């Protein structure tokens, strides 16, 4: 679901609590604050698992919390690919690497596992990327290849792909 709320302290919690209250399982929260924005609202995408029969209760609780629903629906990210990145991931800003995929709107990193043997050693990370279409996955992988090149990271792919 995509939500819109006031950009003020505590609003994200106000959106997440109703999900918990109705028994939802939050899988991912995507929140990108635009530094130049003069708007006093914030958009947040939340990926969650929730039984269909609980959706009406969730909608009611979100409205009571003054959280506006911009979009709600079923899984839209149908394609999945898992890759390995090896290199100095933390020193080259792993969050930036993930953000470059997540901010596209057509793909996102849905899982991330990392192994860091020592501060000055290379680390490795397993990333699972999901996308709307196969073409979008190709575009997301193009972005990841470019980032790996820029940051001197080894990219091993694909470990799996599912649609």
Residue 126's domain comprises 79-162
Say how far apart CA 78 and CA 92 lie, in whole Å.
29
Same domain, 158 and 85: yes
Mean pLDDT of 72-80: 70
Say how far apart CA 140 and CA 77 lie, in whole Å.
12
Which residue, 28, 50, 71, sits at the end of a domain? 71
131-147 per-position pLDDT tens digit? 877 888 999 999 999 99
pLDDT, position 161: 54
Mean pLDDT of 139-159: 92
pLDDT, position 72: 78
> At CA 153, angle to CA 156 and CA 103, rounded to 5?
85
Same domain, 83 and 67: no
Same domain, 142 and 158: yes
Mean pLDDT of 62-84: 80
pLDDT, position 31: 74
Contact predicate 44/2, CB 8 Å: yes
Number of domains in the chain: 2
Same domain, 58 and 7: yes
């Amino acid at each position: 679901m995509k939500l819109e709320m006031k950009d003020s302290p505590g609003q994200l919690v106000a959106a997440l609590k109703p999900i918990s209250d109705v028994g939802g399982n939050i899988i991912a929260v995507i929140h990108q604050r635009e530094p130049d924005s003069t708007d006093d609202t914030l958009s947040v995408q939340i990926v969650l698992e929730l039984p269909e029969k609980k959706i009406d209760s969730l909608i009611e609780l979100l409205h009571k919390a003054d959280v506006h629903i911009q979009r709600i629906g079923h899984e839209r990210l149908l394609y999945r690919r898992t890759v390995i990145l090896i290199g100095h991931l933390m020193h080259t800003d792993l969050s930036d690497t993930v953000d470059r995929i997540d901010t596209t709107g057509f793909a996102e990193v849905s899982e991330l596992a990392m192994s860091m043997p020592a501060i000055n050693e290379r680390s490795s990370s397993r990333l699972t990327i999901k996308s709307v279409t196969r073409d979008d996955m190709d575009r997301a992988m193009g972005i990841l290849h470019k980032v790996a090149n820029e940051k001197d990271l080894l990219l091993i792919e694909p470990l799996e792909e599912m649609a």
